[in-house]
Amino acid sequence: MRPTLDNLLTQAYPADAASFGKALEAARQELARNQAVRRWRTQALWVFISTVAMVVLMASVLLVLEQMTLGMLLSKAPLFVLLWVTGAVCAWGALSPRGERLRAAGIVLSAVSAAALVLARGESHVEATLPGWVCSASHVAVGLGPLIVAVLALRSASFRPMRALVAGLSVGTTGALVGELACSQGRMHVMGYHLTAWAVIAGVEWAVSRTLKSRSFAP
């Protein structure tokens, strides 16, 4: 079996001509594959679209099942705009080669969005019929699709902790938005369960991205 370039690079540095020849041949084969490279802007757009698509799908289901009205949906428009701007900035910053400022802006926007989610809620006047952790679990579940998209996108660049974190924050807006659609509990519930799910998604994105090998060492 012909050794791969990765295997050769992990071996001890050889001094004989035969080993150099093997490394050169493996490098030529890697270059000959000519794999298509997607633009980072396209990948960032797909990460953002995946979160929007999931929220639109959940909103459509709730409207069809008459679990919410169009008026209720429109009343959430300011929060939706804020969270989608946050998700877009985080996705763009995560994939941008020179996105340090965008990543910092994404973290600030995420903090502002989290505060807005809590402050926009009043006291709960509806008795909870399900345990609070159900909200957290459902938020993580709806974020799994966008999470996979983000993980695959991040493999096209070298791993950076802040890059993975803001990608996770972008994905986490999915569950946060679904929570605005499907949950009417109060501030403490949002703080304890909705924001926890957002943090869990961001942590999972960071952990998974850290363990997977990048397909590229691009910045």
pLDDT digits (tens, 9 = 90+) for 115-124: 999 998 877 6
- The CA distance from 156 to 165, in Å, is 16
* pLDDT of 5 higher than 60: no
For residues 184 and 17, which has the higher predicted lDDT (pLDDT)? 184
Cβ neighbours of residue 172 closer than 8 Å, sequence gap 6 or more = 110, 143, 197, 198, 199, 201, 202
Percentage of the chain with pLDDT > 90?
A: 55
**9-38 confidence digits (pLDDT tens):** 566 655 566 666 776 676 676 666 655 566
**Domains of the chain: which residue ranges?**
1-34, 40-211
**70-112 confidence digits (pLDDT tens):** 888 898 999 999 999 999 999 999 999 888 999 999 999 999 9
